[in-house]
Amino acid sequence: MKITLVRHTPPEVKEGVCYGQTDLHVDDTFKNHLDAIQEVITLDDDTVCFTSPLVRCKLLCKALAGGERAIEEDKRLMELNFGSWENKKWSSLPVDQMQEWGKDYLNSRVHGGESMIDLNDRVKAFWTDLIESNYSEDEDEEKNILIVTHAGVIRSILHILLEMPLKKAFSILVNYGGVVQIEMLDKENAQIEFKR
């Protein structure tokens, strides 16, 4: 089973704004990123496509899928919910709240939002369902999966596959329009390649 993870392209947002689950449109570099992504991924007619329901992911997924493939939206693929910090400038947030969150961001829920553990738990649930529903040892039944999502979700999936500490996973750089190719060797082990 081959799984292609793609991070959305740059959103239309001012620099320095916190926007985890804020539903933003894509900026004017979308077409350039789309072309570059299409150069490194291959989708067949049977590719199963999943996307975060946020616009910046849905637009990219629809463009990559080409209109012929069904696309399934899954809320578990959304970025971290920053609660009351959403759509505010990082520089405008109270310093004491930022420091408190920074001390234990894995467990701290961001003012009505989620902790990194919360995000990771929902991604694990998605990943388990995905593997159980789609993995087959029969090569003739091997599926191709496309997942268009966010950096936090991609890091969480890599954390699961590599069995690395969650805190370390969030130091992995996932660029806008980044592509990670995963080939599942069995239900737990995989080969991982950063394509873009």
Per the CB < 8 A criterion, the answer to whether 141 and 131 are in contact is no
Residue type, 191: Q
For residue 35, give every residue at least 6 positions away whose Cβ sits within 8 Å of its Cβ, in sequence order, or none. Answer: none
Tokens of 35: 């072309």
Angular region, 14: left φ>0, alpha ψ -120 to 50, beta rest: beta
Of the candidates 4, 3, 2, 1, the residue with the CA atom closest to the CA atom of residue 179: 4
Helix orientation angle between 55-65 and 30-40, rounded to the nearest 10 degrees: 50
The model's pTM:
0.95
pLDDT at 138: 77
pLDDT at 164: 94
- Phi–psi pair at 119, nearest 5 degrees: -60, -45
Per the CB < 8 A criterion, the answer to whether 75 and 53 are in contact is yes
140 or 124, higher pLDDT: 124
Structure confidence by residue, pLDDT tens digits, 132-169:
998 877 776 778 999 999 999 999 999 999 999 999 99
User: Residue 110: is its pLDDT beyond 80?
Assistant: no
User: Residue 67: is its pLDDT beyond 80?
Assistant: no
Q: What is the mean pLDDT of residues 87-110?
A: 90
Helix (H, G, I), strand (E, B) or coil at 93: coil
**CATH superfamily of this structure's domain 2-194:** Phosphoglycerate mutase-like (3.40.50.1240)
Structure confidence by residue, pLDDT tens digits, 74-98:
999 999 999 999 999 999 999 988 8
What is the pLDDT confidence band of residue 24, given thresholds at 50, 70 and 90?
very high
Per the CB < 8 A criterion, the answer to whether 23 and 55 are in contact is yes
For residue 168, give every residue at least 6 positions away whose Cβ sits within 8 Å of its Cβ, in sequence order, or none. Answer: 159
Considering the chain, what is the average pLDDT of its residues? 93
